[in-house]
Amino acid sequence: MRAAYTEKIADLSFSLATMCRQADAAMASATQALLQADLAIAEKVISDHDELDAMRASCEEKAFALLALQAPVAGDLRSVVSGIQAVNDLDRMGRLALHVAKITRRRHPKQALPEEVKAYFAEMGRVAAHLAKGAAEVLENHDAEQALQLLDEDDAMDDLHRHLFSVLMDREWKHGVAAAVDVTLLGRYYERFADHSVEVARKVIYLVTGKIPEDAV
């Protein structure tokens, strides 16, 4: 019975990593749609979100079933509780990608992004993908050192977000209020996507060590 329980915990970790990779793929596609004003790609991100929502429900069901099967303690309990919490972060990551795709669809056939901010979002998309891939890996391998590295790598997204805001506040901005609102929202979506990736890494650190990283307090 113990071996079967351990196997189910490993299966939950694998399912969480799969969900994380799905959210990563959704944001990568949403970024491509945003940069290219590609309605077909944006529509696919939107329609595929149901699959990610089904993954969320499946992960939650697996986690709560593990709580019901036994009264887990110590490491097992941390695995299950961390898994339940991680599902919420992964769900938010998928929804943030969905929001990006919806802005692309709403502005089509026009570009949602003025030319001078496209490079910012291309780089934000790259950083988001890097963090999400790292989060998926640590969900699967439970490598606390790798997870700890991800906490620092989030700084790149914060820097990009600050620089983007300085562009919006520049007197030379000539694209109007609607474009400024879109860019502000989009910047926030990428920043939060990165934050949730890092939160997943923090949960893995807690799962492995039983301690909350200092900068999470």
Q: Given this model, what pLDDT does residue 217 score?
A: 37
Contact 124, 190 (CB under 8 A): yes
| pLDDT at 216 (0 to 100) | 43
Set out the domains of the chain in order of their start, with CATH numbers: 2-216 (1.20.58.220)
* Confidence at residue 78, expressed as pLDDT on a 0 to 100 scale: 86
Cα diameter, the chain = 67
Q: Closest Cα to residue 158, out of 184, 185, 130, 190? A: 190
Mean pLDDT by 10 residues, the chain (217 residues): 79 96 98 98 98 96 85 77 94 98 97 95 98 97 94 94 92 91 97 97 92 63
Name the packing angle between helices 118-141 and 176-209 (round to 10°): 20
AA letter at 10 = A
Overall residue count recorded for the chain in this entry: 217
| pLDDT recorded at residue 214 | 67
Let me know: does 60 contact 87? Beta carbons within 8 Å. yes
What pTM did the predictor assign? 0.93
Alpha-carbon distance 138 to 6, whole Å? 18
